[in-house]
Structure 1
């Protein structure tokens, strides 16, 4: 068979792609076309591109395998834990697609190095980062009509009490807010609709729970008096990213949930004892799931029934037990739950919350309508909002849901996922001895922490997959030393019995994830140069511009060259270097590394980034492209000369 034979094209190399790459190399190699590179081939690249076929040498695939050239059905957005980032995986393949730097520094993209990223993270007066560490825990998207809308997702930093927003079109962080007067920012969840304006049916708030109680204000007073320790529950505006209000509460916040009608936010609490030491946090047999009446809180804020704490100007309302005994005026409702609960999640129909016991082998089912009834004064005891409490196993933590009325809860101590039916649990709680809540169990390896179902945090839960993030992976993968990766195990939940599909490794320690249908996510492939006020729009604008000791260097990149072959500086100059990528080809990213100056970043097609540094080392420094872009990638350099 000749190379031109098209009778069995599926088994042959993609000739359109080969022609594209070879022509790009030839154009780049020609002296006259040195700066054209891949851009010259933009017109013939996309139409001729063909995804590799799954035929030929590729074996028959299981229904869960994603063959070469095909795309995953779902995105999984997963917190990276104490790495400070967010990971994107494809499911069902389990392939890691991207790491999004958020609270960490990242040499791949220059996050924490470029001026633009430093402005988002926050800096000290000397220009250094205010924080260079973070601990991401919970990832949640924005909603419209009770399902994901693909606009933003939010993730928290437990260490420094920050909330970050990530644009879904570029998968990049665009805003970070630090919450005042809190520590241990653990749980977060977006609202699913605006509860005040019925015309607004999309996310307007992000609810944030503080896990650690501290003296308020935390300025050195009352440090030894645990009775003075309090926590705050915060609400952040999803657009402005400003803190709207905070609620003073008793007990620690753990995870957070929000209702589909926008009326309630909830957090489970594991230390209603307000204990300072380890043993004191487990003395009570009952803790709580705490509900916030969002409309009443906002009415109180509007009416000025607020205070402030320390130097913060954020309005604070009183949500403590002592101040909320009258249900008809209460801002909060504490529903007693056994014991040290971990995790609160709402069913896709919006009727029930599942709150797991952790130190109790039970999951408590709380009816949304009954919590509202308590706020209206029609329910005598908040505990009466609990309509089921099935015994499901040891160490229950997180719960996901399918579209058939079933719940799936991780059992940390049993190393299992338990499938249980919500309505059956309610019937059994009412005394029906024929009702069996637990439907199925499956072993996972080992100690599952967070678990989540496909589209399970939306009205469109589809009952396809459950993903178990396990905290230990010994003997599951090739050993790589004392620090092990962890295991994410994909489970098929579409049938009566759960079926383990495969393991995939995750690093470092994911805390929570969401599984989102791929059609919801609409990403951009190329930036708009007009978005960047400092863009160098014409290579002719390149050069060195001096204002005393302050120097601006403007340059562009277009495969396979930078617009400046060299640029000269003087020792002691304060230099701001601005780089704009002029290539318009999808996936044609350029890097810029500066030896001995600790600078390395990338610019995507049509993007602009900048860095500022002091030219304090005389000599010659070859600045080069770090991101493979062209056959002449190694030759893509610019010479920085620092004169003594």
Structure 2
């Protein structure tokens, strides 16, 4: 404690004093409970205000987005175990949309309509195969090293899937389940195709598996950890088919790709191959593994692959023992300390940065030296590490500003550190006067992920850093044991970082990207031509085929085309609804009481549902989405005869 000039008691906002003793524990990998740590509190739930937060008070208005004005950026954020993706405005922090992906959403009807079930995947009985998910990382399609806004991809760690989201509607159009994979965590798109130089847009999506499992995982070898393995997968961006897989040592975390399209990389922990967590932290160095895409695809073309279990996907061997000769190696393992979390490529394409997590360092890997290792020009892959600055406790994720600076989240220190990459390289070479760390700022509390505006592209603009914090505690009104999480926007345009504002995030988001608004071109209405089952005024009506009944409806404010329709108990009923309105944002809903049916149709869109009419009676099907002054009157009557 100390007093300011007015004599008022103030508190030291640094978490280093609180958590300094955790360094030794972190080195051993022991689990730390940090929910009670962080900025000092007055004992009544009010956090002490840090110097950075005070400084922000005078400048936050500079970034305010007034009513009627639009944000400069989209933030596309994962939704964690909600199974969704969220879209926020930046710099406002306003939530604009929640995209259902692997979850059921009664508002839009995702997981309820026939069309969405076909994308999500069903069992033979027509029910969803999975209705839960765990999204972690979102990345977009590229043209010439920057976002083109056409598509976005997100992982499902829970069930090992990849989903594709259309950039014009922000809706999912494909989901692929990866074979022989558990814990699909990292994902990244290619930034350029290395095979055909005439193609400079995204053609591949790379996916890393975190959990090692018996291969195949069909009940054999469950007690033989040496038979466990992880597969790195490559998907075709167009078809969403899995092109190939590569078996690796260790557990993969995140994924990054080079700007020339030649390499993908994944940071790894548990090179020890341990089953229990205490067995995963004995090695001082884990690795960042690089995949030579052209070599892998050439090996597959030459037939040098196997298949695993029932999968027909070709699998190559990328383990260390099989890739000792750089001249023929498919993979390169660059040693980095310790249980790294996160790998990111710098906007100039020169470097990949891995964060140490259980080491206070970040490792800067020179991609040209990785290429020299593959060419046999250097023998030790560790020589590709050209800097390893000491930044603080618990480094996790790194973003870039396009001016040569990097920004790394420190989970244990609850800070963001700004550091210069070139200075770190000079220091590594022995320059003791190199100024590596340029600034740091407290965040609240324990930042997990962090990302800069356009920072995953060659057009990183150095305007904002968003810190995704895992705990909020005293930042918002309490609502019970489960707290919202904190997203804190930081201005990084100047020499000093300035905290602009907090915004909330419903648990538990992970990584995100900040995309310039002008890269996104959305559409306002659909076209009837897109839907083969679209209903018109001429085709609307009821069709019966045995116990199968097809009810074709149109909606046009403020009425459905049928005032009522009758079915019999036990009928299998399909309702197809087309919204004939052409006015932007004039969406209609359709809900049936007691039947778990609720969905929307946007202007000129068609959706359908199928269910068994098993409850006799009268059921008012009504518009669930406000559409018109006579919205309450917009109904049709379903009569189920006993």
Report deviation, 1:200: 1.2
Determine whether 1:378 maps to 2:382: no
Q: Give the equivalent residue in structure 2 for 1:483.
A: 482
Q: Give the equivalent residue in structure 2 for 1:84.
A: 83
- 1:544·1:568 contact (CA, 8 Å) conserved in 2? no
Q: Deviations over 1:349-404 (max 9, x none)?
A: 00001101000000000001000000000011000000000000000000000021
Q: Distance in 1 between matches of 2:639 and 2:167?
A: 40
Report deviation, 1:127: 1.1
Q: Distance in 1 between matches of 2:61 and 2:504?
A: 20
Query: What SS is found at the alignment partner of 2:87?
Result: strand
Q: Distance in 1 between matches of 2:218 and 2:608?
A: 38
Matched positions, count: 585
Q: Give the equivalent residue in structure 1 for 2:4.
A: none
Moved over 3 A (4+): none
- Structure 1 residue runs of 5 or longer lacking an equivalent are 1-59
Give the alignment of 1:50-65 within 5 angstroms. Answer: 62-65=61-64
Q: Give the equivalent residue in structure 1 for 2:203.
A: 204
Q: Give the equivalent residue in structure 2 for 1:638.
A: 636
Report deviation, 1:61: 8.3
Match of 2:613 among 595, 612, 615: 615
Q: Distance in 1 between matches of 2:577 and 2:602?
A: 11
Give the alignment of 1:260-339 within 5 angstroms. Answer: 260-339=259-338
Q: Distance in 2 between matches of 1:380 and 1:219?
A: 39
Report deviation, 1:537: 2.2
Of 213-222 and 540-549, deviating more is 540-549
Q: Give the equivalent residue in structure 1 for 2:495.
A: 496
- 2:622·2:635 contact (CA, 8 Å) conserved in 1? yes
Determine whether 1:542 maps to 2:540: yes
Query: What SS is found at the alignment partner of 2:252?
Result: coil
Determine whether 1:175 maps to 2:167: no
Query: What SS is found at the alignment partner of 2:536?
Result: coil
Q: Distance in 1 between matches of 2:106 and 2:476?
A: 27
Q: Deviations over 1:570-626 (max 9, x none)?
A: 111111100000000000000000011110000000000000011111111000000
Q: Distance in 1 between matches of 2:270 and 2:241?
A: 28
Q: Give the equivalent residue in structure 1 for 2:9.
A: none
Report deviation, 1:548: 0.8
Match of 1:562 among 521, 537, 560: 560
Q: Give the equivalent residue in structure 2 for 1:18.
A: none
Q: Distance in 2 between matches of 1:439 and 1:543?
A: 69
Q: Distance in 1 between matches of 2:99 and 2:461?
A: 27
Q: Distance in 1 between matches of 2:266 and 2:536?
A: 49
Q: Deviations over 1:321-343 (max 9, x none)?
A: 11000001000000000000000
Q: Give the equivalent residue in structure 1 for 2:39.
A: none
Q: Distance in 2 between matches of 1:211 and 1:510?
A: 18
Query: What SS is found at the alignment partner of 1:253?
Result: strand
Report deviation, 1:222: 1.0
Query: What SS is found at the alignment partner of 1:408?
Result: strand
Q: Give the equivalent residue in structure 2 for 1:422.
A: 421
Q: Deviations over 1:434-479 (max 9, x none)?
A: 1021110000000000000000000000000000000000000000
Give the alignment of 1:11-26 within 5 angstroms. Answer: none
Q: Give the equivalent residue in structure 2 for 1:603.
A: 601
- 2:268·2:289 contact (CA, 8 Å) conserved in 1? yes
Report deviation, 1:202: 1.1
Q: Distance in 2 between matches of 1:442 and 1:269?
A: 28
Q: Give the equivalent residue in structure 2 for 1:227.
A: 226
- 1:61·1:67 contact (CA, 8 Å) conserved in 2? no
Give the TM-score normalised by structure 2. 0.91
Give the alignment of 1:447-596 within 5 angstroms. Answer: 447-538=446-537, 540-596=538-594
Q: Distance in 2 between matches of 1:292 and 1:123?
A: 34
Q: Distance in 2 between matches of 1:170 and 1:557?
A: 21
Query: What SS is found at the alignment partner of 2:187?
Result: strand
- 2:77·2:512 contact (CA, 8 Å) conserved in 1? yes
Determine whether 1:188 maps to 2:226: no
Report deviation, 1:628: 0.2
Q: Distance in 2 between matches of 1:145 and 1:232?
A: 28
For the aligned residues, what is the CA RMSD? Answer: 1.0
- 2:60·2:500 contact (CA, 8 Å) conserved in 1? no
Q: Distance in 2 between matches of 1:615 and 1:344?
A: 52
Report deviation, 1:195: 1.1
- 2:450·2:511 contact (CA, 8 Å) conserved in 1? yes
Q: Give the equivalent residue in structure 2 for 1:629.
A: 627
Of 433-442 and 418-427, deviating more is 433-442
Report deviation, 1:126: 1.1
- Structure 2 residue runs of 5 or longer lacking an equivalent are 1-58
Of 196-205 and 257-266, deviating more is 196-205
Query: What SS is found at the alignment partner of 2:239?
Result: coil
Q: Distance in 2 between matches of 1:124 and 1:232?
A: 25
Q: Deviations over 1:413-448 (max 9, x none)?
A: 000000000000000000111102111000000000
Q: Give the equivalent residue in structure 2 for 1:45.
A: none
- 1:134·1:157 contact (CA, 8 Å) conserved in 2? yes
- 1:529·1:537 contact (CA, 8 Å) conserved in 2? no
